Amino acid sequence: NFFWGILCLSRILNDSRVPELAVRFVLYHEMVHIKHGAKIKNSKLMSHTPEFKADEQRFEGYEEAEKILSRIRDIVK
Q: Write out pLDDT tens, residues 54-67.
A: 999 999 999 999 99
CA atoms within 13 A on the CB side of 46: 10
Single out the residue of 57, 59, 69 nearest to residue 22, CA to CA.
69
Average pLDDT of span 17-30? 96
pLDDT > 90: percent of the chain: 65
Would you say residue 25 has pLDDT above 70?
yes
pLDDT of residue 4: 73
d(CA 69, CA 8): 16
Would you say residue 2 has pLDDT above 70?
no
Give the predicted TM-score (pTM) of the model.
Answer: 0.86
Single out the residue of 21, 52, 17, 28 nearest to residue 9, CA to CA.
28
